[in-house]
A and B are shown apart, each in its own frame.
Chain A
Amino acid sequence: MPNSRTISVETRGVGKEYRLQGNKIHALKNISVTMEQGEFVAIMGPSGSGKSTLLNLLGGLDIPTQGSIYLDGTELSSMNEKALAAFRRKKLGFVFQRHDLFPALTVRQNIEFPLILHETPQRDRENRVDSLLALVGLDDKGGNLPEELSGGQQQRVGIARALANEPTILLADEPTGNLDSKTSAEIMDFLTDLCGKSGVTLVLVTHDPEVAQRADRTIFLRDGEMIPQEGVLL
């Protein structure tokens, strides 16, 4: 792990509550963590422990009920919806368990999407997409539709899309959840390598201990709270 890296992600006493049929549900309680630039952090916990909730909060997709979240020094709650969207475009990339590629767009167009949002000029977009396709080893699949690819290939497209705008933070929600072990390993190799080379902060939610083992650090959650001990499986 590189020394003296800047803080990329910081949460201070973050909590999230929901109301369900009159009852208050504490999805997260008092979560305070910091992650450094280029760090690979895994978040583990049983179902309903609040992993995805935390990830959504980190991505600015949801608003914490308590506490504050800082990404690259910027507090998310200080931004309105439009500013938050712009921040996500510039700084964040998402990788989903179900890939969530746009089915009516080709592989190339899927990867290009964040660049279009960012209003990148066309030529730059084309160059960027080409390099990403090469990065993920899908040079010859640019014109294919997502349904024409295997699960692993679709996930690689998802990763390429997430990296399109050169985010500083990559949020992955169970990226290997739908893949077989071999493909999972390939994807994780890729992500780990990327994290190490490009300095992207990778925050990854997983159930899989083998995946979590590759991380620099693992945060354990249970019933919305952090469990400070390592290696305690829930």
Chain B
Amino acid sequence: MIASYAWKLVTRNKQRSFTFVFGLVLSIGLFSGILFFIDTLSRGMAQKALAPVTLDMVAHTVKAEVDPLAMVPKIMSLRGVSSVEPVASADFASAIGGPSVLGSSTGNSPSTVADPLNGSIVGGRMFAINPSYLSTFNLVKISQGSFQERGVVISESMAVSRKLGLGDSLNLTFSDIKRTFTLPITGIATMEGASALFSTATEAENSMVSDVVFVDYRWFQGALLPDLKKLALNPATVTPPGGILLDQQLHIKIDRAQLPPDPVSAAIQADALRRSIERQYPGELKVVDNVSVNLSSTKSDVLSAKILFIFLGLPGILLAAYLSVFVTELFADSRRREISLLRTRGARPGQITGIVALSNLYLSILGSLAGISLGLLLISLTQKLPLGSLLSEKGILVSGGFAFLVGIGLSFVAGFLPSLGALRREVLEEKRIVKRRYTIPFWKRSYLDFIFLGLSVAILVVTQLNGGLKPTGTEGQAVQLSFYIFLSPLFAWIGTTLLTIRIVTAYIENPKNGLPRLFKGLMGGVGEMSAQSMARRSASIAPAVTVIALTLSFGISLLIFQQTYNSEKRLDSQYIVGSDIRLTPALNTPQKADFAKALMVPGVASVTPVYRDTQALIGMEKNTVYGIDIESFRKTAFLPNSFFVDGNSPRTLAALRDKTTDYAPGKTDQVLQALEQMPNGVLISVEQAQKYNIQLGDPVRIKLYNRFTNEYKPVEAQAVGFFVYFPTSSQDSDFILNASFMTQAMGFSGVDNFLIRVDNLSSISTVSDRLKEKFKNQIPLRIDNTDTVIKVDSSSLTSLNLGGLAFMELLYTLLVATIGLAVFLYASVNERRREFGTMRAFGADLGHLRRILFSESMTITLISLLLGILVGGILSELLVVLLSSLFTIPPRGVVIPTTHLGFLITLVLAGLLISTVLSARHLEKIKVVEALREL
């Protein structure tokens, strides 16, 4: 009987039940939507992490005498392995083209091929592969001809630079091997996307080689391998830096379908497979696992993304939950009257508790299920995933279950507990008090709002004093986000919510707040009277304002954060590229500085050459040294003042000495001028200056390396300036010289890359295409621009597209704001039916009642809008400050998306107006006689 009565309680009060359920649907809908978003996010991140991996695992033999071919069957038999291909690589000393000459060794000594700039021998790398390799791995694509056992396939850049073609013969020589190997060129291959071929067992970075040849593995085994093995086993053999004498490998393809979608689990599984492979041949194989490396970097990003998205979603969830509580509060009086009625009709407290609990449970089940359905629908729409596929995922089901329980819990706290409290009071006392006595809430008495805000500021200050979050400093590793970093904004949110209620309540209750005068002017005496009555109804109006203001601030802060985020992504890519476009000729076709003239195609504003030595020595350590032409570099490169520090400042000196990061800011012009004025000047990164204990004016001995002569040349430079970041550096450039000084010292004038600035940012892709077209089939080169650059060193968090989440949350902003107002106005009309009936009895017509409603709506809208913009602005600043370490270059401030903000505010205002109009229609439905008859 109690169960059926409880159900009747739900169905009889349709409007109240619907309103409560709707609030719950919004709360649980957003909460579950965020959870589902995170579940699908990790799936997306794992796929994204693995997409660029073209070579899953490479097993390098540790000793030359090991036979990798014999290992193939055993490794193939391991679970999770899809294919295994033997590969051998060795550097050749020279490759000379000639007319078609059949046969192998001629016994002639190799003639040299002049380096176009310096006249030295140019070598390259040989890879020995089976024909099946080309179909198993998508690294090498034969663009002309075919791969044959008794032939050689050469790289496109080699074909272009040496003017070789199909049918030509190639005479290959190897260091310390007397014979020359002659093979016909049977194919030409594209090497784009083949960088994974060049990894070694010891170096993290792939050193790409331009001149590459591919030979059949069987031919290699018979013709070359024995000699190379002999050399490798000879301890007297010397291999030049960065060179390969003999590297025997097994390229392993794993079955990705067997990897779990979650990157964390997938990384663990891949790593286990790697160990399993090494375990088969202890001490003989070293496996480079590209899969788990990529997944592992994603692993921390997944965690950080989850934290980031939970944080970005948390305010929305809290707001929507608050909406549920707010809705329940609006109907509290009628609920209490209902309970009183049951008591007067003889129901016992236990029975009433049961009825209330069950009716609450019915509503919570309905609301939670509907909310979860809404969350699924939103994810399906924003992530473009079929609903069916979502429902079959374990993660989604678990999250859905969790969201359901949260819905039940929320309903219990927001709906059942207040009703239970009402039941406990005396019925007679309840009957005497038609309007609940307003008591000062605990949080207000104990100033919890100020306490939370104080805690938020304290955490922020402590975080910033500790230097904020620092990037890891290791290339390829992602940025970690600690959870504690979100406590500051979380406490700020809670404190702001409570403080908003306090401020709004105080304002509305203040008889001199100007509202009666305002509404008297707008709506006459009725408007004035309505404003006066609002002063005594602040307990219900303030929460409505809070819900809408904070919802709006949430949407605004998210918009600003997203715009800043996207803007910083672009700035980061400008920093990585160095300017708008970076053009890098192939290593075997180095260009001189005057090649810049040829790059001045339509749309190009300026060009600057950049020299680079990646093998320079400072002390005993290798460093990368850049050489720049200051005049053109100034005009072309991306050089904000924030990149440089004031090296003369005591603050900088103290920071260098004490190894802190508190440098005095410098100016681009000042630092570059110092370099220009000192021919042997060097600019140094602050990290290296600290490491090598260098101060301004100190001499710096550098050994520059000439890759053609394989010789080091020592030079003495003088420290003239320091920088935090340098264009194109992305952590690998720490020393900057004058180009003229560098090339003279190195004895090599080949430019590493050219930076290009365009006239118009929107023409970057067009200009890039023009350059590609101009030099197609003439000079092999790589073109990067800010639109397409891949950030090797960056966190994949910054490559996340916040768009999907932003769309979902902006939709919620609109929904919660408009529905929050509609709910308030609707409940306001419902709870005051008798009052409105009395007004009608005294001669108020519908127009008068609408004016009362509109004045309340306008009050809520205006105050919410002002507060929402203010709080949203502050919160976005806080977010950007806290998350500045996500970016290679810390953001310099927020970027305000005025158009989007205007659009959001307009949409919200339109929604509020619609809510008001619809709620006003509810007034027409009040039947005066029935209203007056209500208890």
Q: Which A residues contact B (CB, under 8 angstroms)? A: 52, 56, 59, 61-62, 81-82, 85-90, 92, 94, 96, 100, 102-105, 109, 112-114, 116-119, 122, 145, 147, 161, 165
Contacts and interface: CB of A to CB of B under 8 A. Distances in A.
Contact of B842 (A52, A89, A122): A89
Contact of A147 (B435, B532, B537): B435
A61 B525 contact: no
Contact of B532 (A59, A62, A100, A105): A105
Given A104-B536, A104-B537, A109-B532, A86 B841 contact: no
Interface SS, B side: helix
Interface SS, A side: helix
A161 B529 CA distance: 15
Interface string B829-855: 000001100111111111010000000
A103 B533 CA distance: 8
B438 to A, nearest CB: 11
B559 to A, nearest CB: 37
A104 B533 contact: yes
Contact of B526 (A105, A116, A122): A116
Nearest to B435: A103
A116 B929 CA distance: 23
B385 interface: no
Nearest to A147: B435
A59 B537 contact: no
Contacts of A56: 929, 932
B434 interface: yes
Contact of B840 (A61, A122, A161): A61
A199 B208 CA distance: 110
A113 B932 contact: no
Interface in B838-882: 838-846, 848
Given A117-B848, A119-B524, A105 B529 contact: yes
Contacts of B928: 61-62
Given A81-B845, A88-B841, A104-B537, A117 B834 contact: no
Given A104-B533, A105-B532, A86 B932 contact: no
B845 A82 contact: yes
Contacts of B842: 88-89, 94, 113-114, 117, 161
Contact of A86 (B434, B435, B843, B929): B843
A92 B928 CA distance: 15
B835 A116 contact: no
Interface string B265-296: 00000000000000000000000000000000
Interface in B25-79: none
Contacts of A85: 840, 843-845
B533 A59 contact: no
A85 B848 CA distance: 11
A51 to B, nearest CB: 13
Contacts of A105: 529, 532-533, 536
A87 B846 CA distance: 15
Given A104-B537, A105-B529, A59 B838 contact: no
Interface in B471-519: none
Given A61-B932, A109-B529, A100 B843 contact: no
Contacts of A112: 529
Nearest to B533: A104
Interface string B526-547: 1011001111110000000000
Question: Across chains A and B, which 8 residue pairs bring their CB atoms closest together, nearest first?
Answer: A89-B843, A116-B525, A104-B533, A88-B843, A85-B845, A104-B536, A100-B838, A94-B841
A81 B843 CA distance: 10
A86 B843 CA distance: 6
B843 A114 contact: yes
Contact of A61 (B434, B846, B848, B929): B929
A114 B843 CA distance: 7
B524 A103 contact: no
A116 B529 contact: yes
A109 B526 CA distance: 11
8 contacts: A85-B840, A85-B843, A96-B932, A102-B839, A109-B532, A112-B529, A117-B844, A122-B525
Nearest to B526: A116
Contact of B843 (A117, A122, A147): A117
A116 B851 CA distance: 13
Contacts of A113: 529, 839, 842
A90 B727 CA distance: 82
